[in-house]
Chains A and B, each alone.
Chain A
């Protein structure tokens, strides 16, 4: 079946089953590989994108549930004020190591900052504890979010 979705401000039409997770539509059908596969069960956050500004696990989001909502991915998050600040803070604090989970981390952090410009430590815990980083960059993620909030 054919679906037209709004990705990073552009209309994209794909021909897949309606229950296909958005993750695979982005990665395999549209070729946008910045969004990562980690678990397939919304347990790790690697696949996080924004759907109408809300951090959403694309691995469990069927393409037929999206309708006309605006999808933003890591490839375009730098065009948003919060995303741009987060990316800069990520570089300033040298957050990534292997880097694989960082697309998802940045998307979760950008959504947090867009909705809560001055997050507390517990706000950060709540927004970010769904994102696993096997390299253990958590301390730097916290510092970077705090910098982005003040910067």
Chain B
């Protein structure tokens, strides 16, 4: 694949329009898909050539197109936002299709829930670290199906048995007669072959690509400025808009004085909505300047007095009465009553912003009969539906162009930005690119929820935990985002990492209390449920080891007889970290163990706490069992990435509210970890034959308790709220 290919992805000028592709793909899928959301490992293989295709084009399923000129196009059901999916997904297909990766072209999938839903989510979305988990079998099958049909086409042409032919580097060979036909030469014939019901997949020992450090396909355009993110879209006659949304959530505009703003050179129009003012101009420089020149009188609305303390108090209060039981093993209350030692603690975590480096943006061209949208989104079908509603148009009149994403982390699973851009575009003649300033991006994010947790545990005379009880309160993002998955007061995300501990605990009770905070929207954030739960559970497990007077690793190992994969990663991380080796004063090691996103990881953080209380993470050792590895370099990269993301949250991350407004606004007061604060990160991968697990997020949740536990080891101070409060760690004079 070359630079221009990926640069073109998502452009309006591409050869196939979204609608056309979607319609074709749907027609082809119709035969076998059977309707409904795909919830199993089901691929919509069609069997009849679609009239919308040139008959010479071979497109056996929604992911592969081969034209007579030999072009192989792979349609990407998951979006590239840095996690390497535009390399690992093509690897799965190419492994079975037998094509060279540098010869394929990639295309963003159009919105189509039937064709491109993630089998694990049931919707077309990229999130929850489940692209590889969802794609592992179906996309290898997609490749194998195409290969099988190409072999059959060649065998027919030559009048030989298909079993005497094999596929290699984009061609079918008949070794006995040294004949060879390329996929392009076979595409027309292959298009007439019925799609086989079952195809064989390679044995892992025969993998050529899977398990190798294939170079990322999306990088060439990312080092020379040619990669096209949503914010880089350019259209003839396009205007630019900056916006000011009500600083308090739920507020409204009372009055706007735009006299000065209108006088600024390059300003075309001021769009006034109920709760937003947008300035439309020739360029963002003029739009931002005019925005600053507006005088807006806001009615702050019903949450005008809201502060973070109010939300925390509500959550704290909610945990004082029983919640919905999310997990129950044995009899926790009796076991607690009989425990030799009882340990109790309360934890809480703050709201967090996503702060993607590419600020929220969306380009919209509203026409009387249609709405065309250019954006980078993790959930293109969801966004299309939301846009159609705002535009007042049927779904097929909303044409979507997806793009490379400059950071998702859950932020771009939401449709709020696109809805806002459509609202503005309805007032604008011609295409308009709406770009959030960094301040708007941070102050009108949808935030990782705040949670409050109460835990108690009982130890026996030897210090072993006999009972574990955890009750926590906070927002359920799933209840809003995917209501059918919220049942009887519970959802699988909010509780992940709390109910599925790797440890053998004979009595356990976990309760969840759903509390939706007023006046602040919540959303998924990298490492989702575990981002909160693993900090709490792995910190508390550390507290139990301390209460038992035992080594933190030895204590955990004693509870892992039923979890060999957890035992392996913990042992490996401890060994590589030199666990137990002596460290200087105020330097400590902390460990965290996690099974989430179907991957087992153990992290050891080595932390130095200055006399001032400032914390520096010096070194992080990661041991990973993520099942079969698709691309080892991506596993390394994602662990490095996730660890930095988690340390950023642990040391700096906190969104606070005052008078209904988010107090943070830019990278000066919502700080990111920088290169000079970045630890040495080592990643050790365990050889595993288990099915692949997710790796995009796991490190983010696990590093946070590893850091908190290391701080405890360095200072004896147990910090039960985030972010780390360095004032609490200051060494007394």
Contact = CB atoms under 8 A, between A and B. Distances in A.
A35 B666 CA distance: 19
What range describes how many residues of B lie at the interface?
Answer: 35 or more
A149 to B, nearest CB: 16
Interface of B is mostly: loop
Given A19-B289, A33-B232, A40-B437, A94 B668 contact: no
B356 interface: yes
B644 interface: yes
Given A20-B285, A46-B357, A91-B219, A41 B666 contact: yes
A82 interface: no
A97 interface: yes
Contact of B286 (A17, A23, A36, A128): A17
A137 B285 contact: no
Contacts of A134: 355-357, 407, 409, 645, 672
A55 B359 CA distance: 22
B673 to A, nearest CB: 7
A71 interface: no
A71 to B, nearest CB: 14
A5 interface: no
Contact of B285 (A21, A125, A135): A21
Contacts of A125: 675-676
A91 B225 CA distance: 14
Contacts of A130: 674
A141 B675 CA distance: 9
B285 A25 contact: yes
Nearest to B216: A94
B723 interface: no
B234 A31 contact: yes
Contacts of B81: 98
A17 B266 CA distance: 9
Contacts, number: 199
Contacts of B225: 32-35, 73-75, 103
A142 B477 CA distance: 37
Interface in A15-51: 16-17, 19-21, 23-25, 27-29, 31-41, 43-44, 46
Nearest to A38: B357
Given A98-B407, A136-B640, A136-B643, A38 B223 contact: no
A42 to B, nearest CB: 10
Nearest to B674: A129
B672 A132 contact: yes
Contacts of B84: 97
A11 B393 CA distance: 45
A102 B223 contact: yes
Contact of B359 (A20, A38, A99): A38
Nearest to A101: B357
Nearest to B673: A136
Interface string B195-221: 000000000000000000001101111
A130 B226 CA distance: 23
Contacts of A32: 225
B666 A91 contact: no
Given A16-B265, A33-B234, A37-B435, A96 B285 contact: no
Contacts of A39: 438, 666-667
A87 B358 CA distance: 21
Interface string B633-674: 100010011111100100000000000000000111000111
B358 A28 contact: no
Nearest to A104: B357
Nearest to A39: B438
A134 B359 CA distance: 12
Contacts of A106: 223
B284 interface: yes
A78 interface: yes
Contact of A138 (B223, B437, B644, B668): B644
Interface string A84-116: 000100110011111111110010000000000
A138 B82 contact: no
Contacts of A129: 674-676
Contacts of B215: 91, 94
Contacts of A23: 285
Interface string B363-393: 0000000000000000000000000000000
B645 A99 contact: no
A53 B253 CA distance: 46
A138 B674 contact: yes
Contacts of A41: 438, 666-668
B308 interface: no
B464 interface: no
A63 to B, nearest CB: 8
Nearest to A1: B265
B240 interface: yes
B546 to A, nearest CB: 30
Nearest to B438: A39
Interface in B260-312: 264-266, 282-286, 288-289
Most-contacted residue by chain B among A23, A75, A134, A139 (CB, 10 A): A134
Nearest to A141: B675
A53 to B, nearest CB: 18
B406 A40 contact: no
A148 interface: no
A99 B285 contact: no
Contacts of A19: 289
Interface string B68-104: 0000000000001111100000000000000000000
B151 interface: no
B228 interface: yes
A75 B232 CA distance: 14
Given A40-B438, A132-B672, A136-B673, A99 B289 contact: no
Interface in B174-212: none
B222 interface: yes
Q: Which 8 A-B pairs have the closest CB atoms?
A: A34-B225, A136-B644, A100-B406, A98-B82, A99-B222, A97-B82, A28-B283, A24-B285
29 contacts: A17-B266, A17-B286, A20-B283, A20-B289, A24-B283, A25-B283, A28-B284, A33-B228, A33-B234, A34-B224, A38-B357, A39-B667, A44-B357, A94-B215, A98-B82, A98-B404, A99-B82, A101-B357, A125-B676, A129-B674, A131-B675, A132-B357, A134-B645, A136-B640, A136-B642, A136-B644, A136-B645, A138-B644, A141-B675
Interface of B: 80-84, 215-216, 218-229, 231-232, 234, 240, 264-266, 282-286, 288-289, 355-359, 404-409, 435, 437-438, 633, 637, 640-645, 648, 666-668, 672-676, 678, 680-681
Interface of A: 16-17, 19-21, 23-25, 27-29, 31-41, 43-44, 46, 73-75, 77-78, 87, 90-91, 94-103, 106, 124-126, 128-142
Given A40-B666, A100-B356, 15 more contacts: A16-B283, A17-B265, A24-B283, A28-B283, A35-B225, A36-B358, A96-B218, A97-B83, A99-B82, A100-B229, A131-B675, A136-B678, A137-B640, A137-B641, A138-B674
